[in-house]
């Protein structure tokens, strides 16, 4: 990290306007463009899709994911 300490929200901020995958507590995964997030990791995804075993289940459009339900965030 070249002597600069990176915080988790900094890493997430670098993924803004990029595709990410979010896994939530009920083992569902959503892929979409990260448009916004806050300190509670509440997330807004645009062009979101629900995934199951890596395959598309359905297209959802713009969604809000409550931060307390987030288990994992995959970025590029």
What CATH class does 10-68 carry? Answer: mainly beta
DSSP code of residue 67: G
Determine the pLDDT at residue 6.
Answer: 77
**In the chain, what are the domain boundaries?**
10-68
Cα 12 from Cα 59, distance rounded (Å): 23
Q: How confident is the model at residue 4 (pLDDT cuts 50, 70, 90)?
A: low
For residue 22, what are its two tokens? 């979010």
Those residues with Cβ within 8 angstroms of residue 62's Cβ, 6 or more apart along the chain or in another chain: 35, 44, 45, 46, 47, 48
Report H helices in the chain.
Answer: 8-13
Contact between residue 50 and residue 30 where contact means Cβ atoms under 8 Å apart: yes
Tens of pLDDT, residues 19-71:
999 999 999 999 999 999 999 999 999 999 999 998 999 999 999 999 999 99
Determine the pLDDT at residue 7.
Answer: 86
DSSP code of residue 26: T
């Amino acid at each position: 990290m070249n002597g600069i300490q990176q915080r988790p929200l900094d890493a997430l901020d670098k993924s803004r306007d990029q595709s990410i995958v979010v896994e939530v507590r009920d083992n569902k995964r959503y892929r979409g463009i990260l448009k916004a997030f806050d300190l509670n990791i509440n997330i807004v995804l645009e062009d979101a899709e629900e995934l199951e075993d890596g395959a598309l289940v359905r297209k959802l459009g713009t969604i809000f994911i409550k931060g307390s339900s987030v288990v994992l965030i995959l970025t590029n």
